[in-house]
Amino acid sequence: MWTYQITGVILEMMKNSRQVSSGEGTGPDNVYVARQPVFDREMNIWGYELLFREGAGCKSAAFQDGDLATSRVIADGFGLATEWLRDNQRVLINFPASMLIEGSPRALPPETAVVEILETVRPDREILEICIQLKEEGYSLALDDYVGSPGYEPLLELADLVKVDVLGMQVDELERIVNDLQRHKCLLLAEKVEDLEMFDCCRKLGFTYFQGFFFSRPQLLSGKRLSSSRIAKINLLQELGRPDLDFTRISGIIKGDVSLSYRLLRYINSPGMGLTYDIKSISQAVTLLGHRKIAAWLRVLLLADMDPSPRARELLFFSLQRAWFLEAVCDRGEAVCMESDSMFLLGLFSSLDALLAQPMEEIVQKISLDERLRDVLMGRNPEMQAWLDLAMAGERGQWDIVERTLKHLGVSREDAARTQNQATAMARQFLDLV
């Protein structure tokens, strides 16, 4: 996710310890963080890997100096991440050799943080002693990007988790690596899982955890059809797209569903809305929010009800975050974009194919959409696609693409980071209320 973050909190915490850089610098006002979910065998979210970029001028997540400020970046990013976590979920964070030697992992709690040792770290005596100490202090260790290369046996003996890069790997090669790892007491995590076929293959081979883009792609099964309840929700989505939709009709839709009524009143009376009195009437709530906000609220809620699984909820988080990000950031760029309402829907509907396990071409024919928006969702409008690419690259920690796209769209890094932080907070708050 991206969670391409910048916060005043970070600035406040660090302003006395390091001068804030300007322009292309690497000051604490340029802290970028992405998250990628890690799933267990039942497709529940076990935890997240955090991907960092130390400064706006960096082209990747690499940390060059390994100094105290870098450790603070990780500590602050971890603090942001804990707001997303549920009970017993873990956070994986990459540590190069210099940061291991400096003891940077100790800035994080051992019951939550998993120390991920980069593949570039050679297991010399100093590194092994540090890893042993971390284990004794209760930290879990993960070895990153393992592909079966020799020389890592001492680290394999200490590792609780080994991440195997399965991208493009043949089944027989993967079986060989799994067989080699069986003599070590470690769990296996398949990373860069791109599709359902590889997920099933790794699960059969005994992998415990899975990471990659497969969860956000359509998982089409032969002969699968939308259920009647899903069809009803799509029809309601179409109704919400009508230009003549009025408050009376919206109120009627909500009053006809006990769950929608309860969640609307819970949402509008939440502390984040800032009201000084309780709203007890559906009609009053609809009028107070206004046509645009209530329609957006209903769309998100309908999507949340399409699939209640943890995988779908994580996917909806990304979609909702994209929606609020694109709605706001398009006004800050120099490139052409659609109206803010359409940009919101672009983000919100960008993963409908994965949520419904149906081709996007079929889905967009069933709901009322602006023609340009329909073209973007079907990949037919490269000009508008760049905005969606920006949001998705940030979610995946693809900082080189983020940097290139920001320049193309004429959006400053600071505006993008600030807007994304706000979108992340809004998405998290909304999903907590539904």
* 424 pLDDT more than 70: yes
Residue 123 DSSP label: -
- % of residues, the chain, pLDDT over 70: 79
* 100, 127 contact by CB (below 8 A): yes
Distances (CA, A) of 99 to 124, 145, 351: 15, 18, 37
Query: What DSSP line would sit under 315-361, residue for residue?
Result: HHHHHHHHHHHHHHHGGGSSS----HHHHHHHHHHTTHHHHHTS-HH
Alpha carbon distance 4, 182 (integer Å): 38
- % of residues, the chain, pLDDT over 90: 26
Q: Which two tokens stand for residue 195?
A: 């599709």
Q: How many Cβ atoms sit within 10 Å of the Cβ of residue 42?
A: 10
pLDDT tens-digit series, residues 115-163? 999 888 888 999 999 999 999 999 999 999 887 778 889 999 999 999 9
Distances (CA, A) of 231 to 151, 228, 238, 309, 359: 55, 5, 11, 18, 15
pLDDT tens-digit series, residues 84-115? 677 788 999 888 888 888 888 888 889 999 99
Higher pLDDT, 66 or 143: 143
Alpha carbon distance 285, 137 (integer Å): 52
pLDDT tens-digit series, residues 338-347? 988 889 889 9
pTM exceeding 0.85: no
Query: What DSSP line would sit under 175-244, residue for residue?
Result: HHHHHHHTTSS-EEEEES--SHHHHHHHHHHT--EEESGGGGS----TT----HHHHHHHHHHHHHT-TT
State the pLDDT at residue 58.
Answer: 43
Taking the mean position of all CA atoms in its chain, how far away is CA 325? 13
Q: Work out the mean pLDDT of the chain and round it to a whole number.
A: 78
2: left (phi over 0), alpha (psi -120 to 50) or beta: alpha
**Residue 219 exposed, middle or buried by CB count within 10 Å (0-12, 13-18, 19+):** middle
Distances (CA, A) of 297 to 140, 275, 320, 343: 40, 17, 10, 15
Residues 6+ apart with CB under 8 A from 373: 338, 342, 345, 346, 349
* 243 pLDDT more than 50: yes
